[in-house]
Amino acid sequence: MSYVSGFLIPVKIADKAKYIASAEASWPIFQKYGALEQVETWGEDIPPGKVTGFDLAVKLEEGEAVVFSWIKWPDKATADACFATMESDPAWANMDMPFDGKRMMWGGFETVFAS
């Protein structure tokens, strides 16, 4: 089955257009390295957490939204190979990242069910 790289990202609401432009610019690079799909979602209904929650996970600040994003790959090896190019492929150097990367969460997930 496929492999998914998932992300939670705090983004300033004022930077929504910049974030979307950055995501759109990254797609051809991810696709070049074998990504099958890239999905970017903007949080609209994020209830405040008491013990856990999207807001707590990214230490959401006033004036920010939570972005939930994922990239679908054919397998983990393809994802790992792509991410390994981030230091060597100059295409990544020009990417604008309009968010606080220190509060971004990410992880890799093996698909166990898909419909």
The fold of 3-110 is: Alpha-Beta Plaits (3.30.70)
Give the model's pLDDT for residue 97. 86
Domain ranges of the chain: 3-110
Question: For the sheet containing 37-42, what is the strand order?
Answer: 37-42, 64-73, 3-12, 105-110
Q: Which residues of the chain have a pLDDT value below 70?
A: none
Contacts 24+ apart (CB under 8 A), 89-93: 89/29, 91/29, 92/29
Give the model's pLDDT for residue 95. 85
Average pLDDT, the chain: 95
